[in-house]
Structure 1
Amino acid sequence: MGSSSSKTRASSSASSSTISSRRSTRSDLNNYSHNPTVPRPRQKNVPREAFTAAIDQGTTSSRFLIFDSTGTPRASYQMEFEQLYPHSGWIEHDPYELVNSVKTCIERATEEFVADGYVVEDIKAIGVTNQRETTVVWDTESGKPLYNAIVWPDTRTSKLVHELRKKEGSEKLRELCGLPLSTYPSSVKLAWMVRHVPAVQAALKAGRLSFGTVDSWLLYNLTGGVKVGLHVTDPSNASRTMFCNIKTLEYDDFLIDFFGVRGVNMPKIVPSSDPDAYGVLSDGILKGIKIAGCLGDQSAALVGQCGFTPGMAKNTYGTGCFLLYNTGNEPVVSSNGLLTTVAYSFKGHKPVYALEGSIAVAGSAIKFLRDNLGLIKHSGEIGELASKVKDSGGVVFVTAFSGLFAPYWVDDARGTIFGITQYTTKEHIARATIEATCFQTKAILHAMEKDSGTALHTLAVDGGMSNSDVCMQLQADIMGIDVDRPQMRETTALGAAIAAGFAVNVWQEFDELKNINREGRKTFTPSTTEEQRSGLFSLWEKAVKKAQGWVDNDALDAADDEEDER
């Protein structure tokens, strides 16, 4: 969760590469309270150490972290960037800002690393992790973006999704790619641009339209751009586009044609951990250092939590909330509203799959209380505010700002607060906001139990909301299982660093990682009864049903058709 208000800009065209002045912050290693690993200048005659690094490009900020071989961060830098909201439901990023913020973070974190007495040459490889589904298009010949990046929760494609659901062959999609048809994946974002952006249409007609998720755009630019830059992606990102066959991990002709994007230059799919496929940094303080790993952010968090065994699961609380459950070497197509995705695919190993439950709104709901309603001044205050009341006072907040994702998949719902009375206070609303994420996590767990036939007993957690003891205790109380939180919660970046380290033999076996980030973990144990949990969850499910149907897609279609005729 970001700590400063996002700015709004009405323009929807890609801007220049200059980043306007804004606050940049040195990461505090996720604010965990007992940090015995503060970097110290390296003493003379001490054996040289192997380090790996990670680019972590998220929805609201970019970061760069440098880890030692025990998974301890030794240097880091974080930089927020502008959020663009051209219209209601539209969310965009300037593609140049994504690249430039990453480059700034690399420079600043490495300067810190060197100032603490370490040596740049000891950084053996860099991994990349990124916000998924966010879609970037650029001109193959010039290397310049043709439109702003359309961000994963953007809902401008609601009408298109409604249309595609009626198209012949739509019933095949989930079986082929593991994903339901919704506004979430990259496919509909690219299809929308092909339909509505003249520059994109012209580039496609001329055979020079390049597409990529954020990892591809970053890798293309970091390895040299238009002249020599690599156009690649990994299976964990490719599996989020709806263009990739979930079993073959190759682009599928039926899927490409279904979304009308034949002729687009797609990134080559390469292993998530590979010593050669991602090239090297082409300039800057770390010029020549290998990029050797790439994972979508939620897959990276599973790797960072060492979720290498089937049956292990993690939940990451960021802008949204994402629960991944390792299902092993075969994809499991959900019958209960979950996504089938690639967890990771390291070179020389069989790919590992996961079931995923995606929640569109988690940390962004807390930012809403802060930025839109002014109920809190800082995101970290939410737990303290919620703890002042023993319950939500009957308030239920369905945070469907972008509809509801797993396991409901309804795009006609909108954010709704139920149960407000004269008794309601801001403390009740704060608690109900936290509970909204916890209830959706519980719903996802139920779906996973049905799909897998196995009940989880412990859930590993990380991300912004996990910093709050109050939030995590509420999560345990609502789910009825233990919540396991690591002391060092930079697990997404750590996962990318592990992927890179595997490629260059910093680690060679998964067993070598079993002790990484194990010290100082805290377990939150449920304090509620099954009867209490059942009653609360029933109220949540009732609220979800009442929040649906707010957006009339048929009426929107008719209005849009009438406007087109004019």
Structure 2
Amino acid sequence: MQILSSTSSEYILALDLGTTGNRAFIFNTAGKIVGQAYKELTQYYPQPGWLEHDAEEIWRDTGWVIKNAMASSRPEVIANSPITPSQIAAIGLTVQRETCLLWDKTTGKPLHHAIVWQDRRTASLCHELKEQGYAQEIYDRTGLVIDAYFSATKLRWLLDNITDLDLNNVLAGTIDTWVLWNLTGGKVHATDHSNASRTMLMNLQTCQWDEMLLDLLQIPAQILPQIQPSLGQFGVTDTSILNAAIPITAILGDQQAALFGHGCDRPGLMKCTYGTGSFLVAHTGADIVRSPNQLISTIAWTQAKSGNDLNVGYALEGSMFTSGACIQWLRDRLKLITTAAETETLANQVADNGGVYFVPALSGLGAPYWDMSARGAFFGITGGVQSQHLVRAVLEAIAYQVLEVVQAINASCSSPMQRLIVDGGACENNFLMQFQADVLGIPVERPTMRDTTVQGAAYAAGLAIGLWDSYATLVNQRQIDRLFEPSADSDRAIANFTTWHQAVKRTLNWGVDRQ
């Protein structure tokens, strides 16, 4: 691959619009970060189990992080001057998946807060669909299980609960669609296959909206975005926004972007992102792999070939809803910590978990249970338990969740997983990563570049416009920060998994039993 000189005027702007905050990174042609900015996003909890975001805040913050990333950029040691919009060759966009909204296409105003992927308000509708016998057909068509996690029932709820809707003037979409529409000045209403595959409305084989599912959920096709390849031309930024018409050449769901950033582009390669939730994704190539263990089949990413043909990469995924969100909960709700970094120190202050086990079902349980009614709980609390034990139990639970999904992946694939590649904010925690290696019994590889999600979006955007010509060379430049090998504590950590699993069983169907 030709690596262009860093004195070139070509840069990639990568946007990562996540669940807890929005970020912008600027990459030079050597694939290095030269500017970045972050802003935390307000979380709204109107009722227990509900979570919303202000889509206008997301859009405002998108502009803020772009401008501050450029202002902070220092591409040249000698010149020491910030990058200007005219120097941006392309934009790559990666977003929190499944979160969706409706907006007025005339005023550009959202008609309601966006409903976040963690939101459980449509659990009853999902139960109805299951009782009506649609579970297998929906799985066959979409690769997904029926769950409030996905966008379809959220969109149905919005259509049912927003008054005076004029469907001729309404647009729907996930966060990528919303931001793309705004970036292009309202000219482009589109999404990519990786995000569309998470709506429970896209047919996994045809890669188009499924008419049967649209009819079942009574979602008008006219309000949905056009589905396009993940790597390709999505339009250009409106000049009123950045004073430049910058091509937008890649859109990916956040977990797919991380998969791309790690170089996991073929069967047998897998990664786990420890963000708000934990997401273990394995690339399965051009074939849809079906799992008997309640893992979901999804799109990794797509790219147009000659003519109307499409290169489709599929993936198998285990989605765990609550990981980093547990740590945020310890900080913001329980006030046991003031920073996430404290959890590592506190966990190391005690020799074990003191007999305490935590079930991280703050938003129900994802894979392999898919129980929308499960609720979080601490078990085993005695008079000798200290705050350090509670914190350690939370970190251990994050690792145990991943172990369950790895076991399911191994049962679905021809050969067992040999190494886990990690990224995301919680992978900074050395205690958690060592414990993860201990319970898995395999090495855990942590790259130097932790922001693999945004790196994947940047790589995709640059490759799509030919700024780089070799994906393999980009991936091979990755540097490894640390390899966590299983330690002498591995046997005890694995043994305690049985007790944790018993604790999980006690929380299943909690909400159903108490209705």
Partner SS, residue 12 of structure 2: strand
Q: Deviation per CA, 1:483-510: give whole Å up to 9, x if none.
A: 1001111111111111110111012232
Deviation at 1:454, TM superposition (A): 1.9
Partner SS, residue 284 of structure 1: helix
Partner SS, residue 341 of structure 2: helix
Deviation at 1:422, TM superposition (A): 1.4
Q: Deviation per CA, 1:505-553: give whole Å up to 9, x if none.
A: 012232232323x224310001147753442221121111111121127
Which residue does the alignment assign to 2:256?
299
Q: Is the contact between residue 338 and residue 447 of structure 1 (CA under 8 Å) also seen in structure 2? A: yes
Task: Tell me: CA distance 1:61–1:531, structure 2 relative to 1, closer, same or farther (3 Å).
Answer: closer
Could you tell me which of 409, 429, 452 is aligned with 2:370? Answer: 409
Give yes or no for the alignment of 1:536 onto 2:496.
Answer: yes
Give yes or no for the alignment of 1:195 onto 2:153.
Answer: no
Could you tell me which of 533, 536, 546 is aligned with 2:506? Answer: 546
Which residue does the alignment assign to 2:39?
79
Task: Tell me: CA distance 1:414–1:119, structure 2 relative to 1, closer, same or farther (3 Å).
Answer: closer
The aligned amino acid for 2:312 is: P
Find the aligned partners of 1:146 and 1:73 in 2 and give their Cα distance. 37
Partner SS, residue 440 of structure 1: helix
Partner SS, residue 47 of structure 2: coil
Identity of aligned residues (%): 39
Give yes or no for the alignment of 1:499 onto 2:460.
Answer: yes
Q: Deviation per CA, 1:375-427: give whole Å up to 9, x if none.
A: 11111100110011121121110011111001111112101111111121111
Task: Tell me: CA distance 1:143–1:472, structure 2 relative to 1, closer, same or farther (3 Å).
Answer: same
Task: Tell me: CA distance 1:374–1:247, structure 2 relative to 1, closer, same or farther (3 Å).
Answer: same
Find the aligned partners of 1:294 and 1:59 in 2 and give their Cα distance. 17
Task: Tell me: CA distance 1:163–1:289, structure 2 relative to 1, closer, same or farther (3 Å).
Answer: same
Q: Deviation per CA, 1:99-152: give whole Å up to 9, x if none.
A: 110001111111222683354343211100000000111123333211110001
Gaps of at least 5 residues in structure 2 are: none
Partner SS, residue 210 of structure 1: strand
Find the aligned partners of 2:218 and 2:380 in 1 and give their Cα distance. 45
Deviation at 1:262, TM superposition (A): 2.9
Which residue does the alignment assign to 1:223?
184
Could you tell me which of 172, 175, 190 is aligned with 1:232? Answer: 190
Could you tell me which of 45, 48, 60 is aligned with 2:8? Answer: 48
Which residue does the alignment assign to 2:29?
69
Find the aligned partners of 1:165 and 1:273 in 2 and give their Cα distance. 35
The aligned amino acid for 2:27 is: F
Which residue does the alignment assign to 2:208?
250
Find the aligned partners of 2:488 and 2:270 in 1 and give their Cα distance. 22
Which residue does the alignment assign to 2:298?
341
Q: Is the contact between residue 281 and residue 291 of structure 1 (CA under 8 Å) also seen in structure 2? A: no
Partner SS, residue 8 of structure 2: coil
Could you tell me which of 69, 77, 90 is aligned with 1:109? Answer: 69
Could you tell me which of 277, 294, 308 is aligned with 1:320? Answer: 277
Gaps of at least 5 residues in structure 1 are: 1-44, 557-566
Find the aligned partners of 1:282 and 1:167 in 2 and give their Cα distance. 50
Could you tell me which of 111, 114, 119 is aligned with 1:149? Answer: 114
Find the aligned partners of 2:20 and 2:201 in 1 and give their Cα distance. 26
Deviation at 1:80, TM superposition (A): 1.3
Which residue does the alignment assign to 1:273?
231
The aligned amino acid for 1:309 is: R
Find the aligned partners of 1:529 and 1:332 in 2 and give their Cα distance. 35
The aligned amino acid for 1:107 is: K
Find the aligned partners of 2:319 and 2:505 in 1 and give their Cα distance. 18
Partner SS, residue 514 of structure 1: helix
What is the root-mean-square deviation in Å for CA atoms of aligned residues?
Answer: 1.8
Q: Is the contact between residue 110 and residue 285 of structure 1 (CA under 8 Å) also seen in structure 2? A: no
The aligned amino acid for 2:260 is: V
Which residue does the alignment assign to 1:31?
none
Q: Deviation per CA, 1:225-271: give whole Å up to 9, x if none.
A: 2xxx2000000000000110111111111111121213541111111
The aligned amino acid for 1:90 is: W
Which residue does the alignment assign to 2:403?
442
Task: Tell me: CA distance 1:510–1:218, structure 2 relative to 1, closer, same or farther (3 Å).
Answer: same
Q: Deviation per CA, 1:293-318: give whole Å up to 9, x if none.
A: 10010100111111123211111111
The aligned amino acid for 1:332 is: V
Could you tell me which of 505, 524, 527 is aligned with 2:487? Answer: 527
Give yes or no for the alignment of 1:91 onto 2:51.
Answer: yes
Following TM superposition, the consecutive aligned residue runs of length 4 or more in structure 1 with deviations greater than 6 angstroms are none
Give yes or no for the alignment of 1:352 onto 2:313.
Answer: yes
Which residue does the alignment assign to 1:451?
412
Structure 1 range deviating more: 534-543 or 95-104: 534-543
- The normalised TM-score by structure 2 is 0.94
